[in-house]
Amino acid sequence: MAKFDNQLTMPEMEVVKFDADASDEELIETIETWTNESETYHDHLLIQQDKSLAYYKGSQTDRNHIPGFNSNTVHNRIFEATETIVPIITGSAHQFIALPGTDDEQSLRSAQKVQSVLSFKYDDLDVQGHLEDVSRDMILKRFGVLEWYWNHDADDVGIRVIDPRAILIPKMQVKPCELPYVIKVLEFNLTELKENFPDLDITKVQGGGKTVDIGKKEDKRGMFQVFEVWTDEYVAWRLGTEIIERKANPYWDFKGEKDEKKLQFFNHLNRPSKPFVFFAPFRTGEGPISETSLTEIAIPVQDDINVQKRQIINNLIRMGNGQVYIDKGALEDEMLDQITSEPGLQIVGDSVASENRVRREAGTPLPNAHFSNLVDSNQTFDAIFGVQAALRGASEGGTLGGQILNQQQNLSRIDLLTRELNRGVGELANGLIQLMKMFYDKDSLLRFVGSSDAVEFIKFSREDIEDDVKVHVKSGNIFPDDPVQRSNRAIQLFQLGALAPVDLYKAMGFPNPEETQAKLQQWLSGQLAEQTQANIVEAEAGAQAKAAATPDRGVETSQSPIQRSTESITGGPSKLPGKPK
């Protein structure tokens, strides 16, 4: 029996040097190796990304190669679907929940401060707007990228969207956060290069070095391509064949500060991390990002729709301007050359008015199966993106409740994109806290609008960020906040007596619900008084009419009980009106 060693023999691997101990030459060699390793994967992605972008912009189905006498119309469903989905999945703001590290009042107050600051930064940094760009990238370019960083100009935290075409990563079967390196390709003109690298002596930078196509087609003359290479613990910038800057991860406290008791490190994350957040919704495990995108899946169907639309238009043109049949000899050759599709064209010749000599043949209409196939193609496209008619507001017929139910079912199709955004925002929040823990060394006075719509001020520093604080992101609701639906629900609850009038006014969007409630009370009080007086007058009139019908009986009015009581007190007779004799 064959004997197997329980230790696998691995091929000897080259040691990669990318840290503070490596020389510039060793860094260059490593960056060159990593660039070559990831460029093939990047170029494959770039082809698909550029094609999807072209379709989004309307350059579809060989539009520029259609002969001039045929229709090159484009029914751009990809743009329509993308711009339907993006507002839905980014429409509701995310909410941050900071969990205190310990069970005491001070820890709770610190966690509330962290939560308030994150909510403030969500608006201040326009995270929602950045997520809109990331969402388009997920739909068109397979994945989106956000970078968190320290903004030295503002002396505060910052975020920015990175074009996925400018990112080089190896194709490995790991999550994006587990990648050994990430390369970001930057392009600067000379002025921008000097601003970003003030210590660089441009005269000493040699040419050469690898450049990478990142899909931007503008003139590259006078531009410098810089490779920003990140690992979890180190970062370096390469221009040509030179390392123009290098340093340890600037967003991790390696040194710490020594106080009276111990050496304290100001870190929130568990370990150093590259400052990138990847959004990749359709991962299959074959690579770190999505293997396809919604746009790539829908392009063949989009082509079908365009081809069928063009056929319809071409057929309509031929139906309205069919072929002309002319008997030989009816017109001279010079006149025949002048016959075109021009409106109002006059044809003059011998006996051409006779249908036996000249006639126009109408085109053949398209079969009904053509139009049925176009409807089926549109329905298939809607199913891919999850943007059926109810979601686009184009539903016809049915009850309001049925339309709302259909809309919610359609939204569940794109819920995956929403969950991916939620996961990414959670990573982003922890990255921002890491920056605050490192750089908020002094109290900062922050101003924001509180839950009661009042302006609140808060002093915040890294001392308010406890080591064990945990941040959770409460998912935004993908269902749009329909004001009609909300008003109808409030009216139903009010009719059941389960909602106060002031809450009804709030749900219906009244500008001053409390004032409206007070006016209602005043109006109801006036109505009650008028109704009471009207009832009294009606009762007295009825009594008088009855007394007139019976002369021997008196009339009982509202003053009669008072009169009898007065007479009883004064000793006078207390008689009932109209006592029978």
Query: What CA–CA distance (Å, rounded) separates 143 from 134?
Result: 8
Three-state SS letters, 206-259: CCCCCCCCCCCCCCCCCCEEEEEEECCCEEEEEECCEEEEEEECCCCCCCCEEC
pLDDT surpasses 70 at 232: yes
**Whether the Cβ atoms of residue 430 and residue 268 lie closer than 8 Å to each other:** yes
Burial of 290 (0-12, 13-18, 19+ CB in 10 A): buried
Residue 10: the pLDDT is: 36
Distance CA 202, CA 345 (A): 70
Task: Decide: helix, strand or coil at residue 411.
Answer: helix
Q: H-type helices in 286-354, by residue range?
A: 294-320, 333-336
For the cut 70, the answer to whether the pLDDT of residue 48 exceeds it is yes
pLDDT at 5 over 50: no
Region of 85 on the Ramachandran plot (φ > 0 left; ψ -120 to 50 alpha; else beta) = alpha
* Lookup: tokens for 358: 């000249």
Q: Are 265 and 18 in contact (CB under 8 A)?
A: no
Task: Give the chain's mean pLDDT.
Answer: 82
Q: What is the distance in angstroms between the CA of the first residue and the CA of the last residue of the chain?
A: 136
pLDDT, tens digit, 9 for 90 and up, residues 363-413: 678 889 999 999 999 999 998 998 876 555 555 555 545 555 555 555 666
Question: pLDDT at residue 134 above 80?
Answer: yes
Q: Which residue, among 486, 416, 463, has the nearest Cα to 139 in the 3D structure?
A: 416
- Residue 274 pLDDT exceeds 80: yes
| DSSP H or E run through 427 | helix 415-439
Distance CA 155, CA 435 (A): 11
Q: Which residues contact 388 (CB under 8 A, 6 or more apart)?
A: 382, 406, 410
Q: CB neighbours (10 Å) of residue 529?
A: 10
At 475, the pLDDT band (50, 70, 90 cuts) reads low
What pLDDT score was predicted for residue 566?
Answer: 63
Q: Please compute the mean of the pLDDT values over residues 17-31 and round it to a whole number.
A: 94
DSSP state for residue 202 in the 8-state scheme: G
Nearest one of 419, 392, 420, 396 to 407, comparing CA atoms: 392
User: Whole-angstrom Cα distance, residue 341 to residue 412?
Assistant: 51
Instruction: Give me the pLDDT at residue 131, please.
Output: 95
Which of 328, 334, 327, 321 lies closest to 358 in space, CA to CA? 327
Tens of pLDDT, residues 315-329: 887 776 656 666 666
Torsion of CA 375, 379, 382, 384, to 10 degrees: -130
Point out the least confidently predicted range of 94-103, 275-284, 343-352, 421-430.
Answer: 343-352
pLDDT reported for residue 339: 66
Local confidence band at 3 (pLDDT 50, 70, 90 cut-offs): very low
Phi/psi class of residue 344: alpha, beta or left (left: φ > 0; alpha: ψ in -120 to 50)? Answer: left
The least confident of 335-349, 462-476, 481-495, 534-548 is 335-349
In degrees and rounded to multiples of 5, residue 372 shows phi and psi of -65, -40
* pLDDT value, residue 11: 38
pLDDT in tens, 149-207: 999 999 999 999 999 999 999 999 999 999 999 999 999 998 999 999 998 888 777 66
Task: Give me the phi and psi of 242, to 5 degrees please.
Answer: -125, 145
Does the structure show a pLDDT above 50 at 498? yes
Residue among 481, 374, 365, 342 nearest 77 (CA):
374
Residue 252 makes CB contacts below 8 A (sequence gap 6+) with 233, 267, 269, 272, 273, 434, 438
**Nearest Cα to Cα of residue 253 among 271, 240, 235:** 271
Determine the Cα–Cα distance for residues 225 and 183; give it in Å rounded to an integer: 12
Give the C-alpha separation, 75 to 39, whole Å: 35
Q: Residue 511: what are its φ and ψ, rounded to 5°? A: -65, -35
Q: Which of 127, 426, 434 is nearest to 273 (CA)?
A: 434
Cα 397 to Cα 410: distance, rounded to the nearest angstrom: 17
pLDDT value at residue 399: 52
The answer to whether 360 and 396 have CB atoms below 8 angstroms apart is: no
Is residue 532 within 8 A of residue 558, CB to CB? The reply is no
Residue 525 scores a pLDDT above 50: yes
Query: Cα-flanking dihedrals φ and ψ of residue 329, to 5°?
Result: 95, -10
Cα–Cα distance for residue pair 581/574, rounded to 1 Å: 16
Q: Look at residue 552 in the predicted model and tell me its pLDDT.
A: 55
Tokens encoding 344: 């109002």
pLDDT higher than threshold 90 for residue 415: no
Q: What type of residue is 75?
A: H
Q: What are phi and psi of 13, to 5 degrees?
A: -105, 145
Mean pLDDT confidence for 51-68: 93
What are the sequence ranges of the domains in the chain?
A: 515-570
Query: Is pLDDT at 4 greater than 50 in this prediction?
Result: no
- Among residues 242, 212, 177, which one has the least CA distance to residue 38? 212
Half-sphere exposure of 141 (CA within 13 A, CB side): 23
Q: Is the model's pLDDT at 239 over the cut of 70?
A: yes
Most confident of 8-22, 29-43, 342-356: 29-43
Q: Is the pLDDT reported for residue 6 higher than 50?
A: no
Tokens matching residue 442: 């002094």
Rg (CA), the chain: 39
Q: What are the φ and ψ backbone dihedral angles of 178, each rounded to 5 degrees?
A: -100, 5
Residue 578: CB atoms within 10 A of its CB come to: 14
**Beta partners for 272?**
none
Report helix, strand or coil for 366.
Answer: coil
Quick check: 502 and 514 in contact, CB under 8 A? yes
Handedness of CA 152, 155, 158, 160 (dihedral sign): negative
Q: Is the pLDDT of residue 314 over 70?
A: yes
Residues 459-469: pLDDT tens digits?
Answer: 889 999 988 88
The one-letter amino acid at 553: R
Which has the minimum average pLDDT: 145-149, 364-368, 440-444, 478-482?
Answer: 478-482
Instruction: Provide the pLDDT for residue 181.
Output: 97
